[in-house]
């Protein structure tokens, strides 16, 4: 059994930014030597997410507009009484999910034709990490 761990680092220019990470995760899987197993890809910060969906700029825009409707910034959130101003980022990342588990088959990510892995930053412009834990044989 092989277990391999690596971390992806982010420091986005914009406060909210979706970053495709499929290739970075695939490279970690390759380095792990795991031919058959899984890769956990999980945000280590609670105002960002990791999700699988389409690599299409229009849809990414739609996601961001939609999340703003479901979990608007700037409301009188109780969390803001602590001095924070990012309650909406916690909610948005909950909708998108904060982690995915990717299957690995024959030494590569076993993804469908349009599946792409994204890091979703909702409170960026500072250092964030994603852990990638690869397990298998």
Binding stretches for a second copy (CB under 8 A)? 1, 3, 5, 36-38, 40, 42-46, 51-54, 56-59, 61-63, 66, 70-71, 77-82, 87, 90-91, 94-103, 105, 110-115, 129, 131, 133, 135-137
CA-to-CA dists, residue 29 to 73, 81, 114, 116, 117, angstroms: 36, 42, 19, 15, 13
Give the three-class secondary structure for 40. strand
Q: How far is the CB of 19 from a second copy (least distance, A)?
A: 17
Q: How far is the CB of 27 from a second copy (least distance, A)?
A: 18
Q: How far does Cα 130 stand from its chain's mean position?
A: 7
CA-to-CA dists, residue 39 to 19, 28, 91, angstroms: 18, 9, 25
Smaller CB separation from a second copy, 23 or 94: 94
Q: How far is the CB of 33 from a second copy (least distance, A)?
A: 14
């Amino acid at each position: 059994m092989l277990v391999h761990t690596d971390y992806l680092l982010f420091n986005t220019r914009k406060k909210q930014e979706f970053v495709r990470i499929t290739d970075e995760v695939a490279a970690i899987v390759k380095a792990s030597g795991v031919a058959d197993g899984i890769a956990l890809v999980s945000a280590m910060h609670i105002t960002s997410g990791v999700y699988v969906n389409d690599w299409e700029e229009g849809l990414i825009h739609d996601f961001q507009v939609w999340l703003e409707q479901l979990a608007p910034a700037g409301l009188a959130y109780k969390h803001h009484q602590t001095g924070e101003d990012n309650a909406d980022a916690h909610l948005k990342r909950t909708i998108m999910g904060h982690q995915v588990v990717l299957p690995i088959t024959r030494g590569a990510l076993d993804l469908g034709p349009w599946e792409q892995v994204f890091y979703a930053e909702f409170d960026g412009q500072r250092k964030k990490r994603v852990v990638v834990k690869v397990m298998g044989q």
